[in-house]
Amino acid sequence: MLDRMYKEYPRGSAPPAMEAMAGKIRAADAFIFVVGEYNWGMQPGLKNLTDHFLEEWFWRPAAIASYSAGGCRASGPAPCGTGPFPKWVWW
């Protein structure tokens, strides 16, 4: 788990793995997250990833596909308007 957000590091001083991930996120046009349910919610690693790279997600469309028995519980327990995505889509 990450303990500091990417934007909290001075430019060029983040750990190499974080710099590489930020570059991959910035280079992508859109995202599809395929997630399973974890204790009635989103998997902690995905939540941590989306929380620690905020600006890198901006203006990129994203979708969440859940494959668990709980369905949409895995796709977004966060309240509307939190995290990098303006709204969670429930279906």
d(CA 48, CA 78): 12
d(CA 75, CA 40): 10
**Average pLDDT over the chain, rounded to whole?**
76
Query: pTM (2 decimals)?
Result: 0.67
pLDDT at 91: 42
Asked if the model's pLDDT at residue 18 lies above 50, the reply is yes
Asked if the model's pLDDT at residue 54 lies above 60, the reply is yes
pLDDT at 70: 55
Name the E strands within the chain.
Answer: 31-35, 62-66
